[in-house]
Structure 1
Amino acid sequence: MNNTPKPRRLATVKNTALKYPDANITESSLRWLIFNGHENGFNKCIVRIGRKILIDLELLELWMDEQAANGGAA
């Protein structure tokens, strides 16, 4: 039985936008989501290390699924 936690998949805003081109996620849209994270629930996808902002890709995918289930309301 292996109890080591699964490593988090983290990416910069730029790399996240490049990773999801079919979802039409741009750097600008990600920055808007980050800025408004407390209103739209996106703050749970963000990892801040000093001034560096990283996106947890697993949590981002869960957040996108939630948005799709709620009719896309951010």
Structure 2
Amino acid sequence: MSQEKLPTSRLIPIPKWNEYHDWPPPGGLRHLVFYGKTNGFDAVVKRVGRRVLIDEQAFFEWVEKNQGGAK
């Protein structure tokens, strides 16, 4: 039986997000995290102790899913 590697997603702390991506700024991410239960962003957030990490792959999937809602 061959073992397939699962695709890995990078987990990025909010303060380091802009080292990898220009948008959104950390304040914008914090806003999305704060309202995560109402906007569905909590599917993107991983919490380890007090650290809040953003699942990079899930973030871009969330953006694709929610792009029609922006006006």
* TM-score category of the 2 structures, normalised to the smaller one: 0.7 to 0.9
1:43, 1:50 → 2: CA distance? 16
* TM-score (normalizing by structure 2): 0.84
* SS of residue matched to 2:69: coil
Aligned to 1:9: 10
Helix, strand or coil at the partner of 2:9: coil
**TM-score of the aligned structures, taking structure 1 as reference length:** 0.81
The separation in 1 between residues aligned to 2:8 and 2:55, in whole angstroms, is 11
Aligned residue number for residue 72 of structure 1: 70
| Whole-angstrom distance in 2 between the partners of 1:71 and 1:39 | 13
Deviations 1:2-47 (A, max 9, x none): 33323331101022233221xx311101001001000000000000
Structure 2 alignment gaps of length 5 or more? none
**Which residue in 2 is equivalent to 1:18?**
19
Structure 1 stretches of 4+ with a deviation exceeding 4 A read none
Q: Which runs of 5+ in 1 are unaligned?
A: none
Residues paired across the two proteins, number? 70
Tell me the C-alpha RMSD between the 2 structures: 1.7
